[in-house]
Amino acid sequence: MSQWRLLPVLNVRELNEDTVKCLVNTFDKYVNVDFGRLPEQFGRGTRVDMDIDVIKCLSISPIGDEDVKALRSGLSELYTWGKPRHLWLAIYGRDGWPQ
């Protein structure tokens, strides 16, 4: 069995209506944005903006301006520090399993 099948995924059926509407609006906002190829996305501000919007939708507590500032900084650092591959290795290791 492929290991990707073991990764957790969001169960959208369990989301409340407001959260689903928020996600729909967020994806509608970015539907025509050219993010570029995956390696290019992490250097562009639009990717960070979309990720923050999704986080806002899924957050269980309100996200204020200071939180957005911290998220932007953290995501930008994550996306530029060694690229996402290093994050994958840190979380899942070389064999693809959580450490």
In this structure, of 21-30, 43-52, 57-66, 73-82, the range with the lowest mean pLDDT score is 73-82
Contact between 29 and 53 (Cβ < 8 Å): yes
CB atoms within 10 A of CB 20: 13
DSSP 94: T
How far is residue 50's CA from residue 75's CA, in Å, rounded to a whole number?
A: 11
pLDDT digits (tens, 9 = 90+) for 5-46: 777 888 889 999 999 999 999 999 999 999 888 777 777 778
pTM: 0.71
How far is residue 14's CA from residue 66's CA, in Å, rounded to a whole number?
A: 29
Indicate the angle between helix axes 17-30 and 45-58, nearest 10 degrees. Answer: 170
